[in-house]
């Protein structure tokens, strides 16, 4: 069974003269432990597709199955699934600069139900921060870290709830080459825990390290190829 299966997804923003058909009839599956890269020109709909698949935007039409079950429509249920199932990594990191690394990384755990106690939240944050090599920075304010270190904090936050799927939108756009490479290595290493990765990127070096590359064009899927040389995870079906 695919972890995520989208059939005929469409998204329209606005109404009347402001109406934008951002996605048209997109069908895509993501297998367990699979890394899929979305590529395509600016404005072709990559972020919109990530937001639909990551349940942060409602679909206009189409079907989305999460582990074989239709994605919930009630916001409360969607929020719970987001917290339990997904990890999110953004281009601009979305780190709270004035907070410590620990406080940033525990954010996704604040919303889990049943609630996780403070001590356990901190312990999980510590493990996640250590897994990205930043154990020394746990009590530092995020503002004191470099761009690459902040992106590693964002990765720790994306994996602290042990997500089944990590959704990353241009995770390396603001980074230099060496740091970008390191961040992608970290991101893809989540497959070893059975997590799937869905990443929108303009960078062919990121795409070539994923198991599958899906090319988008003008709100639709244009082409798809598998990368025989990508270090594969434990895929379910596609
Ligand atoms: N909130 C919104 N309201 C109206 N139109 C939007 C909104 N968000 C995106 N769009 C439009 O939908 C289309 C797809 O945008 P999207 O951000 O998904 O593209 P993208 O491929 O991620 O682009 P980029 O690579 O530049 O991030 C674009 O035409 C964009 O202008």
Q: List the CATH number of the domain containing 120.
A: 3.40.50.300
**CA proximity to 191, closest of 35, 66, 87, 50:** 35
pLDDT at 41: 94
173 found inside a domain: yes
Query: What is the residue with the minimal CA distance to atom 14 of ligand 1?
Result: 45
Q: What is the atom index within ligand 1 of the atom nearest the CA of 216?
A: 21
Q: What is the atom index within ligand 1 of the atom nearest the CA of 51?
A: 18
CB 205 within 8 A of CB 178: no
The pocket around ligand 1, CB under 6 angstroms, is made up of 13-14, 20, 22, 40, 42-48
Helix 147-159, helix 177-189: angle, nearest 10: 10
Q: How far is the CA of 232 from the centre of ligand 1 (A)?
A: 31
Q: How far is the CA of 27 from the centre of ligand 1 (A)?
A: 18
231 found inside a domain: no
Using the predicted structure, report yes or no on whether residue 235 has a pLDDT greater than 60. Answer: no
Domain assignment of residue 31, given as a range: 4-226
Query: Structurally, how many domains does the chain consist of?
Result: 1
**What is the per-residue pLDDT across 94-143, written as a single tens digit (0 to 9) for each?**
889 999 999 999 988 887 777 888 899 899 999 999 988 899 999 999 99
Stated as kind and residue range, the H or E segment containing 181 is helix 177-189
47 found inside a domain: yes
pLDDT at 9: 96
Query: What is the residue with the minimal CA distance to atom 3 of ligand 1?
Result: 13
Query: What is the residue with the minimal CA distance to atom 30 of ligand 1?
Result: 43
Distance CA 116, CA 154 (A): 20
CB 195 within 8 A of CB 165: yes
Name the token pair of 233.
């995870």
234 found inside a domain: no
Using the predicted structure, report yes or no on whether residue 238 has a pLDDT greater than 80. Answer: no
Distance CA 107, CA 216 (A): 32
Query: What is the residue with the minimal CA distance to atom 28 of ligand 1?
Result: 43
Q: What is the atom index within ligand 1 of the atom nearest the CA of 20?
A: 5
For residue 117, the SS3 value is coil
Distance CA 238, CA 223 (A): 15
Q: How far is the CA of 126 from the centre of ligand 1 (A)?
A: 36
- pTM, to two decimals: 0.89
pLDDT at 4: 95
Q: Tell me the HSE value of 70 on the side-chain side, using a 13 A CA sphere.
A: 9
State the DSSP string of 210-227: SSEEEEEETTEEEEEEE-
118 found inside a domain: yes
């Amino acid at each position: 069974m695919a972890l995520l299966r989208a059939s005929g997804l469409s998204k329209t923003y606005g109404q009347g003269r402001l109406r934008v058909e951002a996605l048209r009839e997109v069908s895509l599956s993501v297998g367990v432990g699979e890394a899929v890269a979305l590529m395509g020109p600016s404005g072709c709909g990559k972020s919109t597709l990530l937001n639909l698949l990551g349940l942060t935007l409602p679909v206009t039409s189409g079907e989305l199955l999460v582990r074989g079950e239709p994605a919930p429509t009630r916001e409360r249920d969607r929020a719970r699934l987001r917290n339990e199932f997904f990890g999110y990594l953004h281009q601009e990191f979305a780190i709270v600069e004035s907070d410590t690394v620990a406080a940033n990384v525990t954010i996704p755990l604040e919303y889990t139900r049943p609630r996780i106690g403070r001590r356990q939240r901190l312990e999980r944050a510590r493990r996640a921060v250590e897994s990205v090599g930043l154990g020394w920075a746990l009590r530092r304010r995020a503002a004191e870290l470099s761009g690459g270190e902040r992106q590693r904090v964002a990765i720790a936050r994306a994996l602290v709830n042990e997500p089944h799927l990590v959704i990353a939108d241009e995770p390396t756009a603001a980074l230099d080459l060496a740091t970008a490479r390191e961040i992608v290595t970290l991101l893809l290493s989540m497959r070893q825990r059975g997590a799937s990765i869905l990443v929108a990127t303009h960078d062919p070096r990121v795409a070539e390290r994923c198991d599958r590359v899906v090319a988008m064009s003008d709100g639709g899927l244009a082409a798809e190829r598998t990368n025989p040389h990508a270090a594969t995870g434990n895929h379910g079906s596609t």
